[in-house]
Each structure stands twice: as structure tokens, then as C-alpha cells.
Amino acid sequence: MGRAREFDTDAALDAAMRTFWERGYEGTSLTDLTEATGVGRQSLYLAFGDKQKLYLAALDRYREHFYLPLVEAVSGSVDVRVALREAILPLFDGSCADDPRGCLLVAAAAERAGEDAAVRSRVTAAFAGLETALLEAAQRGRAAGLVADTVDLTGWAALTVATIQGLRVMEAGGADRSTLIRALDTVLAMLHP
């Protein structure tokens, strides 16, 4: 019988996620991962597989912690404008200051999605899931008279996902909070009846 795992796999995965988020896939070495997680190489391999599998698990963890809350925030809402704004503002107000800036999924799309089908699949699924949730929330808002009949909701949902990703890139580049909020509010105002 093998030895029992002597580390918290969730904590190790969170540390690996942050390391990939800060440094990217190519910029992260196995030494970086062992130092960040406090777990030896062999134990990391036994728990997660190779670096690629750990990266995919980190992308899944990121989606779970940062994308699903956005989806959940708008999923039960009739007023998508209020729900989305309330869900996104904490990303720009310093309450997530311990997190690296920008979006790990956007970074993964830029760095790896062109050459790695598994990364591309995860990125596409995350973006599509958010787009679907936004579209459905906007449709509920329209039915309640909160969204203009003249807005192409499918196009708006796609634009909003692109805007959210762009805002995260701008944030990583040091854009000030007021600029980010103004851009978000402009997209949300498109729905006003």
C-alpha cells in the first residue's frame, strides 16, 4: 500500500493556479510550482500528473472560482445590469488585491489555446457559459420590460463577454478603476429601454 498523501491538494492546486496566473504556462517551471505549493516534484506528479495536467486543473479551478460566480450572479437575475455590475465591481475595487491582475483564461487563450486543444476547449467553454448566462438574463430582463426591444441580445451577450475580458486585460495593464467602470457601464447602458 502506498503512502498517504501528506498535503492539501486543494491548497496546492490554488498555489499552482496563482503561479500560472502570475507567470504563464511557459514562464512557470516545475521548480516554481514545487516552491509555490510546498510539495515535492514526485508528489505533484502523483497527485496531478505532468505540468500540462496541473495547468489544466488550474484552469478548471480558476473557472470555478472566478467565472462560475459571474454566471451564478446573473443566472437568477431579471435585471442583468444590476447583477453583472455588482458581480464585477469587486474585481476592480481592491477586494481581490491578493489575486494577480488580469484573467488567467485570457492569458491561457493568448499563450496556449492556439496550440493546445485542451486549453482551447476550457477557454471556449468558460466564455460560452458566461455568454449563455448573460443572454438568458437579458432575455428575462426584456420580458420584464427592463431591456430595450431594439437590442440584439445575442450580440450584446457576446460583446459583454469580450468587454469583460478586455477590462481584465486593461486592469492588468494598470488602467484606473474609473476607466474600467465607465467601460462596463457603457456596455450595460446599451440595454436600457
Asked if pLDDT for residue 80 goes beyond 70, the answer is: yes
Give the number of domains in the chain: 1
Report how far residue 116's alpha carbon sits from residue 113's, in angstroms, rounded to the nearest whole number. Answer: 5
Residue 181 lies in a domain: yes
Residue 3 lies in a domain: no
The pLDDT tens digits for 93-109 are 654 555 677 889 999 99
CATH of the domain at 73: 1.10.357.10
Residue 105 lies in a domain: yes
Residue 2 lies in a domain: no
Q: What pLDDT does 91 receive?
A: 76
H-only helix segments in 8-50: 9-23, 30-37, 41-48
C-alpha distances in Å from residue 135, one per residue of 1, 49, 102, 129, 167: 51, 37, 24, 10, 19
Q: What pLDDT does 95 receive?
A: 47
Q: Which residues of 98-132 are buried (b: 16+ CB within 10 A; e: fewer)?
A: ebbbbbbbbbbbebbbeebeebeebbeebbebbbe
Q: What is the pTM of this model?
A: 0.88
What is the domain range of residue 67?
56-189
Mean pLDDT of 49-64: 96
Residue 156 lies in a domain: yes
Mean pLDDT of 147-175: 94
pLDDT higher at 96 or 153: 153
Mean pLDDT of 81-100: 76
The pLDDT tens digits for 17-30 are 999 999 999 999 99
Report how far residue 140's alpha carbon sits from residue 75's, in angstroms, rounded to the nearest whole number. Answer: 10
Residue 37 lies in a domain: no
Q: What pLDDT does 98 receive?
A: 59
Where residue 193 falls among pLDDT bands split at 50, 70, 90? confident
Residue 70 lies in a domain: yes
Residue 82 lies in a domain: yes
Q: What pLDDT does 94 receive?
A: 56
